[in-house]
Amino acid sequence: MSNKLRREDILIRVFGITVFAILILVGVAVAAPFAYVTSIGIDTGTVFVIDTATNNLTAVVPIEGWAGQAAINPAGTKVYVTDSSGFSTTVSVIDTATNKVDAVVDVGGYPLGVAVNPKGSRVYVTVRDSPTISVINTVIGTSTNTVMDPVNVGMISSEVAFTPDGKKIYATNNRNNTTSVIDVATKKVTAIVPVGDYPTDIAVSSDGNKVYVINSGSNNVSVIDTATNNVTGSVPVGDGPSDIAVSPDGKKAYVTNWQSNNVSIINTATNTVTATVPVGLTPFGVAVTPDGKKVYVANSAVYSGDYEANVSVIDTAINTVTATVNTGKYAMNCPVGVVIGPFRSSDMTDQRIKATYNETDQSTMETLNATEDKGVEETNLSSSEEKNAVELNNSTNNNSESNKGGRSGGDKSSKNNSTPGFGLLGSLTCLYGGWKLRKEEVPK
């Protein structure tokens, strides 16, 4: 009997350990994803990495030029960020495991929108300087991060989105108020769909049946039936709609209205706005977490008199802002985009805020990596590497002092005669606001 009891006891222990291990693995597998918020920055663009479980900042990644639009691959391992400065033709690639830029790809023209195909094998970038969509090849074992197989759209496209099966691309054309439908296999435009005025951002439902197009000039959203490529609905939203994100279940669409300072929530079954949520100042970027429980909104605060930009977090169950992302003393300068990765391991939550871009010019790196005697303000991060902390925007006085005699962004932006996409418009407006603020602060 004692041997039998001993065996039962061992089996119970083994079973308990196994269950405990499974629970741990499940906990790791469903750990909250990270949100990546792009900002034009001060001396260089930055991407803020946010833990969606705590709404705290976990890392700051410097980016070449201005960090504009962004896309993340399905595995959540790479984030692709366009340089929206108007003087660069590059896309930066961030390795999410290290939060470092491990490649900078020249796409041959000014990059506007960016999207990753469902397989994660190709990255499509709309280029303003030519009527094509450039393609970055990301297939391991081939010519990694090289531009290939351009798609001739025949006009300047702003943003792009894939159907879930990866067979079709929808691209907005803001110069002639249309959306192009592209067959991926043939790389040919198969249909051109008339939409509203000045179409910019675009999103596809999770079932692939509907495409939602932001019409920033007519303050509405066009709904395209992908089976017929006809517009089947038009939804009035707030003033100055900018970006759109569809919930994972496809039941809601979230639209940022930069002139109204709010988010319109669309019931996709009825094509009506069922709620309007006030957020921060001049909201642009928007993204929904994979579980559909939270919406992250980048508030650029373009027209504010101080650095008041932030990220609002909407609880989708009650349609209310329940949190503002804690970035500590690291102020955001005009955040314009948000992307959120899939559920993944939470082993990145102890990352330190540090400058990781190794191709930034020396003077900028000295500014970013400046050591402060007072140390690093805690934002739920480990402080064991304070000497590597990035001192970004500690105060508006420091910002104005560090930028005396700097470049006049407003003058540079006015030299660009091409009609920008809405993402570029937001970036240019941000630049003007920051330049004007600095000009007012610098003693004469």
Looking up residue 187, the CATH number of its domain turns out to be 2.130.10.10
Domain range spanning residue 221?
36-368
Q: How confident is the model at residue 101 (pLDDT cuts 50, 70, 90)?
A: very high
- Note the pLDDT tens digit of each residue in 362-388: 433 343 333 333 332 333 333 333 333
Whether residue 440 is predicted with pLDDT greater than 50 in this model: the reply is no
Does residue 55 lie within any of the structural domains? yes
Q: What is the pLDDT of residue 382?
A: 36
Does residue 251 lie within any of the structural domains? yes
- Note the pLDDT tens digit of each residue in 259-287: 999 999 999 999 999 999 999 999 999 99
Strand pairing partners for 151?
133
Whether residue 176 is predicted with pLDDT greater than 50 in this model: the reply is yes
Whether residue 251 is predicted with pLDDT greater than 90 in this model: the reply is yes
CA nearest to 122, candidates 86, 84, 71: 71
Does residue 355 lie within any of the structural domains? yes
- Note the pLDDT tens digit of each residue in 210-220: 999 999 999 99
Q: What is the pLDDT of residue 109?
A: 87
CA distance 239 to 258: 7
- Note the pLDDT tens digit of each residue in 30-55: 578 999 999 987 777 899 999 999 99
- Note the pLDDT tens digit of each residue in 9-27: 666 665 666 655 555 555 4
- And the tokens for 425? 């418009």
Strand pairing partners for 111?
127
User: pTM surpassing 0.95?
Assistant: no
Q: How confident is the model at residue 60 (pLDDT cuts 50, 70, 90)?
A: very high
CA distance 311 to 321: 10
Does residue 93 lie within any of the structural domains? yes
DSSP letters for 193-223: EE-SSSEEEEEE-TTSSEEEEEETTTTEEEE
Does residue 141 lie within any of the structural domains? yes
How, if at all, do strands 100-106 and 90-95 pair?
antiparallel
Higher pLDDT, 249 or 1: 249
Does residue 54 lie within any of the structural domains? yes
Q: What is the pLDDT of residue 401?
A: 33
Give the total number of structural domains in the chain: 1
Contacts of 83 (CB under 8 A, 6+ apart): 45, 63, 64, 65, 66, 67, 68, 89, 90, 91, 92, 111
Q: How confident is the model at residue 153 (pLDDT cuts 50, 70, 90)?
A: confident
